[in-house]
């Protein structure tokens, strides 16, 4: 039943978790059940709850940040750990149970031809929908980012991503920590550093807790900050991938 043991061996699942004691245990157990032999690192991003104990109990490795750094900060730690411990690939999965770990093998397959694979929510599979300004923002963002990356990207803010060796080396040093840096700016950074980006459609499950907001003021703020992030990302000088020491 295990199609590629060596590939799973060299892959690290990184799960940023901020106050996720309710879901993180189940997500970790599901990862181990569906992806036997894989390593799973939960980054406790300054949680005030029992996230660390729950994740350790489920069998994951846990890195505890002393205070909240945001998804970008947590992911950079994951990339650093992967680089220091000889993992080739890093797969980012949300700890709230939105992503199905069963998509990971397909993402890893994609890494044969790309440096960064995105699990896209709007590419046909599943029924994840958003409405209003948030949707327009996503459409415009994906149009601009598709141009930058030179390939069609329909979901630029997806939290399900797989990174190959080149992208891991780049992100361990340069993964952006700012707001939306883990999605928009990371894609700009990767494509300008010469990484190939591709996407595959994935089905999204409803979130374990809470619903996506449709508050107009929040949407407008999101829109503004997203474009600001994109603008600055495009203005910054390109980073280069560090050569293997």
Partner 1 sequence: MNVTSYIFGILAAVLTLAVVIEMLRRRRLRERHAIWWLVAGVLALIVGVFPRVLDWAASVVGVALPTNLVFFVSIAVLFLVCIQHSAELTVLESKTRTLAEMSALQDMRIRELEQKSEIAG
Q: Is 54 in the site for partner 1 (CB under 8 A)?
A: no
Q: Do 33 and 111 meet the contact criterion of CB atoms below 8 Å apart?
A: no
* Cα 17–Cα 21–Cα 24 angle in degrees, nearest 5: 60
Q: Is 6 in the site for partner 1 (CB under 8 A)?
A: no
Q: How many binding residues for partner 1 (CB under 8 A)?
A: 16
Q: Is 237 in the site for partner 1 (CB under 8 A)?
A: no
Contact window for partner 1 (CB under 8 A) among 6-14, 58-66, 104-112, 223-231: 58-66
- Can you read off the two tokens belonging to residue 154? 């329909």
Angle between helices 132-149 and 216-235 (to 10 degrees): 10
- SS3 of 14, please? strand
Q: Is 18 in the site for partner 1 (CB under 8 A)?
A: no
**Residue 118 forms beta bridges with which residues?**
161, 199
Cα–Cα distance for residue pair 105/203, rounded to 1 Å: 14
Contact window for partner 1 (CB under 8 A) among 4-12, 61-69, 100-108, 223-231: 61-69
CA dihedral 229, 45, 206, 143 (to 10 degrees): 20
Which residues in the 83-112 window bind partner 1 by CB under 8 A? 84
Q: Is 177 in the site for partner 1 (CB under 8 A)?
A: yes
Pick from 12, 31, 58, 77: which binds partner 1 (CB under 8 A)? Answer: 77
Task: Kindly state the smallest distance separating residue 108's Cβ from partner 1, in Å.
Answer: 24
Q: Which residues bind partner 1 (CB under 8 A)?
A: 43, 61-67, 69, 73, 76-77, 80-81, 84, 177
């Amino acid at each position: 039943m295990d199609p590629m043991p060596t590939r799973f061996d060299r892959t690290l699942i990184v799960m940023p978790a901020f106050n996720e004691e309710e879901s993180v245990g189940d997500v970790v157990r599901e990862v181990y059940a569906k992806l036997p032999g894989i390593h799973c690192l939960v980054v406790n991003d300054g949680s005030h709850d029992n996230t660390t104990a729950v994740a350790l109990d489920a069998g994951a490795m846990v890195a505890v940040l002393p205070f909240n750094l945001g998804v970008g900060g947590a992911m950079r730690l994951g990339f650093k750990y992967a680089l220091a411990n000889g993992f080739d690939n890093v797969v980012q999965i949300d700890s709230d149970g939105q992503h199905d770990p069963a998509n990971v093998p397909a993402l890893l397959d994609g890494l044969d031809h790309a440096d960064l694979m995105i699990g896209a929510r709007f590419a046909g599979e599943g029924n994840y929908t958003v409405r209003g300004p948030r949707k327009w923002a996503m459409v415009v963002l994906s149009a601009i980012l598709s141009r930058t990356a030179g390939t069609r990207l329909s979901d630029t803010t997806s939290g399900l991503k797989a990174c190959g060796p080149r992208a891991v080396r780049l992100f361990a040093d340069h993964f952006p920590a700012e707001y939306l840096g883990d999605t928009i700016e990371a894609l700009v950074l990767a494509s300008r550093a010469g990484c190939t980006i591709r996407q595959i459609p994935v089905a999204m499950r409803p979130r374990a807790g809470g619903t996506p907001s449709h508050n107009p003021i929040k949407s407008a703020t999101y829109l503004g900050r997203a474009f600001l992030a994109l603008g600055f990302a495009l203005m910054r000088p390109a980073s280069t991938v560090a050569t293997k020491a």
